[in-house]
């Protein structure tokens, strides 16, 4: 999130789209309730009327997979009607920047497309630079190639009629949504955008988010209280996981993981450190070298020196995409021998379950680390198979739950909250920390007698209190881990932090990432966490703070409750909440303001300590401006509607049916990846969650009180469709896609209505995906239906839109 959970109380309009927030983040509904009490309007857009819809003030239905058309239409509405915060747009976004002559857009394709590679040469979308290497701008916004004009042209195609034809949204409701949302262009009105998997789990998921960013920037809502782009994270500590670099393409702190192309540290620095010639651009990522070197020092300690590139050659160099789908495709081809699963249950949660389980069967060994036996950990003895037929050696390491161990958990608002152990672990279960610590020590021991290239493992700087000992009763010290993540000085050093000279001694914890160095004098396990634990004792653990006092601006920041990254800044990009003179756009809900007499900012930690006129607000961009036009994405600098891989209708925007930049696994790896067509599978299928169950159900399907509430997997379908198919509420039905079929109870409801699309009526049904063959409550997994197809930038699977058919169990196909 750019903002944080409590901040929702400050909003005038909350747009819940791509999320069923009240269903899946029910506790957070508390904040929306408070916002409503203060007069906020809640808008919810969803193919189905959900628990969130019942909570909202305005509900608008639209077809799964057409989010871009929906929001592009809202952007067009704002642009056509002049409902933008022009002050903000002009000064803080790249609206005025001029784009290269090489840029064009035609029939669904941007310039620079290579159809054989299904990728773009993004240099075609670059800024036009002046003689000094600084992007040229037209502050009158008239230049035909300035981003503002390019956008007007691009979004003009998303008029209300076209949008309603694509999305099936009812016209009057859609107009109401546009009107209500764009009313927040005014400086004293603000909207927040709340989204989750409904947004991301599409082949164009990244561009879905881009539409929100563009609209919010036009409204001037980014950096303001009650505003922002707010991802409601799913798993309890997924924010912490991504912060610590658990995604395949990242190192901790969102640094890039090096690829084969970066063989030396210099290569790496050159590739990833952005440059700017504009003195007003803070270009904070220009500090990249400090963060990568400090990370390497944390990993390899004294062994990492300037002479050996700080052990950069020990870091694996990626040569491929190792995302979930890619891994399972490789596994299916027998290319992976072993698999570690830490709290993951792909037999239920992964797409194209049938293929993924077939892939698991090819493994030589699997280690499942979980608090319960999961469907995946017992895949070898699942119903219908003979364990003797499977050669995989499966280990189950019992992990203890979050209340049985100490450590931090990070919420969607980036707040790292320290937690204590409440009870001793049950039975033989141990913490993940103990398991990873023991794993490292065991592997290190093996390297003493064999193995190739042991240094990256054996030279790791690794001592969390127990030396080389593996002892079931000795827990590694999580405080040592946290302090290493915070970072420290490896030698005495004087450092200039802003205008102050600070002296540090060897061994001092680093106070913030402004102190980190690129010469090997500092180490830091994740630069964004620098400042979380700036001292040696638990009293200095900022993540453990629980002070209930709010900041002087009274907008719910609670700056001394736990600690958030970066540097405890609660609302990021908050510099943009003030005009160029440092005066808040909305004095009623000010986040930061420039105090002329004191010569500094007050309120939240400012996003940029510099005086108002010194630097542009969006410091993480090399040009210091928020990107309405984003030339770094694989599928284009502006969002464009494409149909999901499986769609019941043709794309009426262009002849590009699907996202031109997605990898087509069904073409490269056809086995097990059939694609369905609308003739055989005319109904849109989607998957989602219920409040009563959690993710793949390993925990909740084993709790009797929750099983009592939702004991069986069910599919929701509309009244008209159920009549057509002669299906009554409670009937057993089969849902089928090109990839597989599953059985479920039918729940007939008015909450799913058919869509009127450009003269055609299309139905949509939805299945909850929490079920699997293992546990107290069992049922078919909805993911037998979904496909190995992912987003153009992230490869996140398109769980949210596919084609299927549904029919009564004992009646055959209807």
Residues near another protein, by CB under 8 A: 22-23, 26-30, 33, 49, 51-55, 690-692, 704-712, 714, 730, 745, 747, 749-751
Both tokens of 678, joined, read 């609308």
Nearer residue to another protein within complex by CB, 62 or 120: 62
Both tokens of 139, joined, read 């502050």
* Count of residues in the chain: 814
Helix (H) or strand (E) holding 747: strand 741-749
Q: Which residues of 289-306 are buried (b: 16+ CB within 10 A; e: fewer)?
A: bbbbbbbbbbbbbebbee
- Residue 768: phi, psi to the nearest 5? -80, 140
Longest dimension (CA), the chain: 80
Nearer residue to another protein within complex by CB, 683 or 706: 706
Burial (CB count within 10 angstroms: exposed 0-12, middle 13-18, buried 19+), residue 115 = exposed
Q: What is the CA radius of gyration of the chain?
A: 27
Continuous H helices in 392-431: none
Which residues, listed in sequence order, are joined to residue 7 by a DSSP beta bridge?
none
Q: Which residues of 540-575 are buried (b: 16+ CB within 10 A; e: fewer)?
A: ebbbbbeeeeebebebbbbbebbbbbbbbbbbbbbb
Q: Least distance to another protein from the beta carbon of 768, Å?
A: 11
Q: Least distance to another protein from the beta carbon of 7, Å?
A: 17
Q: Least distance to another protein from the beta carbon of 726, Å?
A: 18
Q: Tell me the C-alpha distance between 699 and 349, whole Å.
A: 13
Q: Least distance to another protein from the beta carbon of 300, Å?
A: 46
Nearer residue to another protein within complex by CB, 44 or 634: 44
Q: Least distance to another protein from the beta carbon of 194, Å?
A: 15
Both tokens of 227, joined, read 């505003």
Both tokens of 7, joined, read 């901040």
Q: Tell me the C-alpha distance between 644 and 656, whole Å.
A: 11
Nearer residue to another protein within complex by CB, 49 or 254: 49
Q: Least distance to another protein from the beta carbon of 216, Å?
A: 26
Which residues, listed in sequence order, are joined to residue 318 by a DSSP beta bridge?
259
Q: Cα dist. 436→336, 426, 433, 579 in Å?
A: 21, 19, 5, 49
Q: Tell me the C-alpha distance between 447 and 88, whole Å.
A: 58
Q: Tell me the C-alpha distance between 389 and 776, whole Å.
A: 26
Q: Tell me the C-alpha distance between 628 and 210, whole Å.
A: 8
Which residues, listed in sequence order, are joined to residue 114 by a DSSP beta bridge?
119
Q: Least distance to another protein from the beta carbon of 57, Å?
A: 10
Continuous H helices in 107-156: 147-156
Q: Tell me the C-alpha distance between 314 and 459, whole Å.
A: 9
Nearer residue to another protein within complex by CB, 49 or 322: 49
Are 564 and 414 spatial neighbours (Cβ–Cβ below 8 Å)?
Answer: yes
Q: Tell me the C-alpha distance between 738 and 384, whole Å.
A: 21
Apex 137 CA angle, 133 and 141, nearest 5: 165
Q: Least distance to another protein from the beta carbon of 580, Å?
A: 40
Q: Which residues contact 26 (CB under 8 A, 6 or more apart)?
A: 691
Nearer residue to another protein within complex by CB, 102 or 732: 732
Nearer residue to another protein within complex by CB, 26 or 387: 26
Nearer residue to another protein within complex by CB, 11 or 541: 11
Nearer residue to another protein within complex by CB, 52 or 66: 52
Question: Could you tell me if residue 803 is left (phi over 0), alpha (psi between -120 and 50 degrees) or otherwise beta?
Answer: beta
Q: Least distance to another protein from the beta carbon of 98, Å?
A: 48
Q: In 3D, which of 788, 794, 803 has the Cα closest to residue 353?
A: 788
Q: Least distance to another protein from the beta carbon of 714, Å?
A: 7
Nearer residue to another protein within complex by CB, 215 or 727: 727
Nearer residue to another protein within complex by CB, 55 or 88: 55
Nearer residue to another protein within complex by CB, 28 or 190: 28
Q: Least distance to another protein from the beta carbon of 320, Å?
A: 42
Q: Least distance to another protein from the beta carbon of 550, Å?
A: 20
Nearer residue to another protein within complex by CB, 59 or 665: 59
Nearer residue to another protein within complex by CB, 11 or 659: 11
Which residues, listed in sequence order, are joined to residue 523 by a DSSP beta bridge?
488
Q: Least distance to another protein from the beta carbon of 222, Å?
A: 28
Nearer residue to another protein within complex by CB, 499 or 750: 750
Q: Least distance to another protein from the beta carbon of 58, Å?
A: 10
Q: Which residues contact 453 (CB under 8 A, 6 or more apart)?
A: none
Q: Least distance to another protein from the beta carbon of 44, Å?
A: 12
Tell me how crowded residue 373 is: count the other CB atoms within 10 A of its CB.
15
């Amino acid at each position: 999130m750019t903002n944080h959970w409590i901040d929702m109380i400050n909003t005038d309009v909350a747009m819940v789209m791509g999320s069923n927030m009240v269903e899946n983040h029910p506790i957070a509904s508390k904040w929306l309730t408070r916002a409503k009490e203060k007069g906020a309007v809640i808008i919810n857009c969803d193919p189905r009327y959900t628990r969130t819809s019942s909570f909202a003030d305005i509900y608008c239905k639209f077809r799964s997979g057409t989010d871009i058309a929906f929001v592009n239409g809202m952007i067009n509405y704002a642009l056509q009607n002049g409902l933008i915060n022009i002050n903000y747009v002009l000064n803080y976004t790249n609206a005025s920047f001029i784009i290269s002559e090489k840029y064009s857009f035609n029939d669904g394709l941007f310039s620079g497309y290579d159809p054989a590679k299904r990728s773009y040469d993004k240099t075609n979308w670059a800024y036009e630079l002046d003689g000094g290497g600084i992007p040229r701008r037209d502050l009158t916004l008239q230049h035909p190639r300035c981003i503002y004009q390019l956008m007007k042209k691009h979004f003009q195609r998303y008029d209300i009629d076209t949008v309603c034809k694509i999305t099936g949204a009812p016209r009057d409701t859609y107009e109401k949504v546009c009107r209500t949302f764009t009313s927040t262009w005014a400086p004293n009105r603000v909207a927040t955008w709340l989204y989750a998997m409904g947004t991301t789990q599409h082949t164009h998921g990244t561009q879905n988010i881009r539409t929100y960013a563009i609209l919010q920037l036009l409204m001037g809502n980014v950096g303001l209280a009650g505003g922002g782009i707010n991802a409601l994270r799913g798993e309890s500590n997924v924010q912490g996981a991504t912060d610590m670099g658990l995604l395949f393409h990242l190192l901790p702190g969102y640094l890039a993981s090096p690829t084969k192309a970066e063989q030396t540290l210099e290569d790496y620095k050159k590739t990833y450190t952005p440059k700017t010639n504009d003195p007003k651009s803070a270009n904070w990522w220009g500090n990249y070298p400090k963060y990568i070197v400090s990370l390497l020092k944390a990993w390899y300690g004294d062994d990492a020196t300037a002479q050996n590139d700080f052990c950069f050659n020990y870091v694996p160099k990626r040569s491929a995409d190792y995302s979930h789908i890619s891994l399972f495709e490789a596994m299916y081809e027998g290319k992976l021998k072993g698999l570690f699963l830490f709290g993951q249950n792909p037999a239920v949660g992964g797409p194209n379950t049938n293929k993924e389980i077939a892939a698991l069967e090819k493994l030589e060994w699997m280690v499942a680390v979980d608090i319960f036996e999961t469907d995946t950990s017992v895949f070898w003895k699942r119903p219908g198979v003979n364990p003797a037929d499977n050669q995989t050696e499966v280990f189950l390491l019992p992990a203890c739950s979050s209340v049985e161990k100490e450590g931090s958990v990070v919420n969607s608002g980036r707040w790292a909250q320290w937690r204590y152990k409440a009870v001793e672990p049950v039975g033989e279960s141990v913490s993940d920390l103990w398991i990873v610590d023991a794993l490292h020590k065991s592997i290190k021991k093996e390297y003493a007698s064999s193995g190739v290239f042991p240094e990256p493992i054996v030279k790791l700087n690794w001592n969390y209190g127990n030396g080389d000992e593996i002892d079931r009763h000795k827990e590694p010290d999580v405080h040592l881990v946290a302090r290493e993540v915070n970072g420290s000085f490896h030698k005495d050093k004087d450092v200039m932090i802003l205008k102050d000279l600070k002296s540090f001694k060897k061994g001092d914890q680093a106070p913030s990432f402004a102190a980190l160095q690129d010469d090997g004098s500092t180490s830091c396990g994740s630069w964004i966490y620098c400042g979380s634990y700036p001292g040696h004792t638990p009293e200095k653990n900022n993540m453990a703070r629980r002070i209930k006092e709010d900041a002087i601006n009274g907008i719910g920041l609670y700056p001394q409750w736990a600690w958030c990254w970066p540097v405890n800044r609660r609302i990021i990009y908050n510099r943009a909440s003030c005009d160029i003179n440092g005066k808040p756009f909305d004095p009623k809900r000010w986040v930061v303001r420039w105090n002329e007499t004191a010569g500094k900012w007050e309120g939240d930690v400012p996003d940029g300590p510099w005086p108002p006129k010194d630097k542009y607000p969006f410091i993480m961009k090399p040009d210091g401006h928020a990107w309405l036009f984003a030339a770094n994405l694989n599928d284009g600098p502006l969002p464009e509607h494409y149909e999901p891989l499986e769609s019941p209708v043709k794309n009426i925007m262009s002849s590009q049916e699907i996202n031109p930049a997605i990898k087509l696994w069904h073409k490269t790896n056809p086995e097990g990846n059939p694609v369905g067509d609308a003739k055989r599978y005319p109904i849109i299928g989607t998957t989602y969650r219920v409040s009563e169950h959690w993710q793949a159900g390993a925990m909740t399907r084993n709790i009797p009180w929750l099983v009592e509430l939702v004991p069986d997997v069910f599919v929701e379908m509309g009244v008209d469709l159920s009549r057509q198919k002669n299906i009554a509420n409670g009937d057993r039905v089969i849902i089928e896609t090109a990839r597989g079929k599953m059985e479920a109870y039918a729940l007939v409801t008015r909450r799913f209505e058919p869509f009127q699309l450009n003269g055609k009526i299309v139905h949509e049904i939805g299945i909850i995906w929490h079920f699997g063959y293992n546990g107290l409550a069992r049922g078919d997994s909805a993911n037998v239906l979904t496909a190995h197809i992912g987003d153009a930038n992230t490869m996140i699977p398109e769980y949210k839109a596919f084609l299927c058919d549904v029919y009564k169990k004992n009646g055959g196909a209807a």
